Structure 1
Amino acid sequence: MKIIVPMAGRGSRLRPHTLTIPKPLIPVAGKPIVHRLVEDIAGVLNQPIEEIAFVIHESFGKQVEEDLIAIAQKLGAKGTIYYQNEALGTGHAIMCAQDSLSGPAVIAYADTLIRANFDLDTNADSVIWVKQVDQPEAFGVVNLNEANEIIELVEKPKEFVSDLAVIGIYYFKDVAVLKNELQLVLDNNIIHGGEYQINDGIKQMMAKGMKFVPGKVDEWMDCGNKDVTVETNSRMLGFLQEDGENLVSNLAVLENSTIIPPCYIGDDVVLLNSTVGPNVSLGDGCHVKNSTIKN
């Protein structure tokens, strides 16, 4: 199994944080977004990950590339770096990794986090992961037939189609089939919104009778802008606390201070005359004194 992660966007809606670090490497609950994403996907797949291919902008730099390869290696996978230096859409981003597009693979965009527990239907040609939402008109949604198969993708429907929103994570039994369809999209210059879209490749696969089914996640957490990322940090801390994960480093130093969980407290954090929490993440080496921080 492979995981393909298109993540070349700088994340302008998360500035000023993304002025110094790409959006997928911003930490949520003490760990980079993309690190949590691939860990969560690996947990759902419940099978060995052979390769994780990251599609980045060349300007991200060598340190970012080394960090990403290290994330893959922690999961026992080979890390591969590809470049997308022009913002030409999701279909184009995936094709930048075309040398890795073979065999079973998951494609996942690196600005979302999930909590999920379902068995992957490996008999289907593809699984599109979805989440039930209150305002489907704001999302791309799937239309299902009576056999619970996806028969249509509809982007921001003005009239009700379904309340199952596409969250940007896809499984393909053989991703080479998608690669061939996306090559036709590029060759025929099929553009929507000024970009080459993954959906155009998927629609061509559907038209050829391939079986698509939904995979429903329990939680879908966005990291697209500052406000929702803070909310996602709080939700993730709560989930990790429920899981019994130790979130406070033994190397943290507290002097006349209190931590109100859930909080992530990194190595060599120093708290002096302070109250921290709930819902706070402090990275390695932070010093907090005479302060109260929450949410």
Structure 2
Amino acid sequence: MRALVLCGGAGTRLRPITHTSAKQLVPVANKPVLFYGLEAIAQAGITDVGIIVSGIDTEIEQSVGDGSKFGIEATYIIQEVPLGIAHAVLVARDFLGSEDFVLYLGDNFIVGGITGLVDKFRTERPDAQILLTRVPDPTAFGVAELDGKGRLTSLVEKPKEPKSDLALVGVYFFTVAIHEAVRSIDVSWRGELEITHAIQWLVEQRKDVRSTTITGYWKDTGNVIDMLEVNRSVLEEIEPRIQGDVDEVSEIIGRVEIAEGARVRRSRVVGPAIIGTDTVVVDSYIGPYTSISEGCRIEDSEIEFSIVLRDASIKEVRRVHASLIGRSVEVSQAPPVPHAHRLVLGDHSKVEISS
């Protein structure tokens, strides 16, 4: 069995971060989202992994390398134009051959991995196996409709009037049957070959298409709020580990990980939180659910429920909350502005001004 991991796409919902970095490499708990997926694939016993990239830049390839650090062998497949998930399957046809495979969207996150799901698919081998989860706003996803016996009857991509709240999770399992399906569908109104249309084609051809509704934690990390929520979820599982240098007057509370080379001076850190290598925290408060990457400087500031990427600095700022701060960003206090009142008052006016 092989894996196909999609790392194309512009990541428009995470701009401006994704103007200079692939969305799959934005870190949660100081590790890129993509790495969690690759680790889950390796843990499921799949080592032959094709990675779909745009070909415009090599950041994904530089970060993942040959895959050996994850226990996989990575093959890079170029999708010149992002024409949809089904199109990516077409592009990867030679790599996939006649093997069963898991299709994994590189910006998706599933707590607990996929080992059990892979084992089930290997045992039962339906033509396709999809994962569903209930969401509050189905219009942003592919939406499934099931019959009274729980069998899949239809899939619609981002419907304006969803018939259910069951959204497609970005992990799919396929046999060779999917290749005929992706060759048989037409381009959608969005100008893409939709994987939902390919799966629907399999349903209409009476192929064995099964669904599993998962209740565990899943997120598509395509926007800032979901990215922060995934960061929160991962930080909930960390264990206290202080490898850096913390002075005697600083206060470390709860599950806090401070990497080797980091320095904390006259500060308070309340977990769960993680502070990366060579980061300096001085006269500051680091609140819960905060990930600060390597090489950062937080000085005389307060920050919580946020992600700070490498080499960023925050100085004399009160307070930063629910934020995603990019690489080498500088956030500082604005110079004081003189306060003044400009008044145009009529005769006999009475004005009270709180100074």
> 2:108 pairs with 98, 109, 112, which one?
112
| Change in CA separation of 1:245 and 1:171 when aligned onto 2, cut-off 3 Å | farther
Q: CA deviation at 1:160?
A: 5.6
Partner of 1:90: 85
User: Greater CA radius of gyration, 1 or 2?
Assistant: 2
Q: Take 1:116 and 1:165, find their aligned partners in 2: how far apart are those partners? A: 19
Q: CA deviation at 1:170?
A: 0.5
Specify the SS of the correspondent of 1:59: coil
**Alignment-mate amino acid for residue 107 of structure 1:** L
> 2:52 pairs with 52, 55, 62, which one?
55
Once the two structures are superposed, residues 19-70 of structure 1 have per-residue CA deviations (whole angstroms, 9 ceiling, x without a partner) of 2211111111111111112324555xx3x11212111111122x53132235
| Change in CA separation of 1:10 and 1:245 when aligned onto 2, cut-off 3 Å | farther
CA-based RMSD of the aligned residues comes to: 2.6
**Alignment-mate amino acid for residue 86 of structure 2:** G
TM-score (norm 1): 0.85
Alignment of 1:150-229 (within 5 A): 150-157=152-159, 161-172=163-174, 174=175, 176-185=176-185, 189-217=186-214, 218-229=216-227
Specify the SS of the correspondent of 1:64: helix
Partner of 1:78: 73
* Residue segments in structure 2 that go unaligned for 5+ positions in a row: 241-253, 306-355
Specify the SS of the correspondent of 1:134: coil
Q: Take 2:46 and 2:257, find their aligned partners in 1: how far apart are those partners? A: 26
Once the two structures are superposed, residues 217-244 of structure 1 have per-residue CA deviations (whole angstroms, 9 ceiling, x without a partner) of 31122321233322332233224459x9
Identical amino acids, percent of aligned pairs: 31
Once the two structures are superposed, residues 127-149 of structure 1 have per-residue CA deviations (whole angstroms, 9 ceiling, x without a partner) of 21111123334432222234433
| Change in CA separation of 1:64 and 1:148 when aligned onto 2, cut-off 3 Å | same
Q: CA deviation at 1:197?
A: 1.3
- Are residue 38 (structure 1) and residue 48 (structure 2) matched? no
Between 1:79-88 and 1:205-214, the stretch displaced more is 205-214
Q: Take 1:233 and 1:221, find their aligned partners in 2: how far apart are those partners? A: 11
TM-score (norm 2): 0.72
Structure with greater helix percent: 1
Partner of 2:94: 99
Partner of 1:280: 290
**Alignment-mate amino acid for residue 234 of structure 1:** R
**Alignment-mate amino acid for residue 232 of structure 1:** V
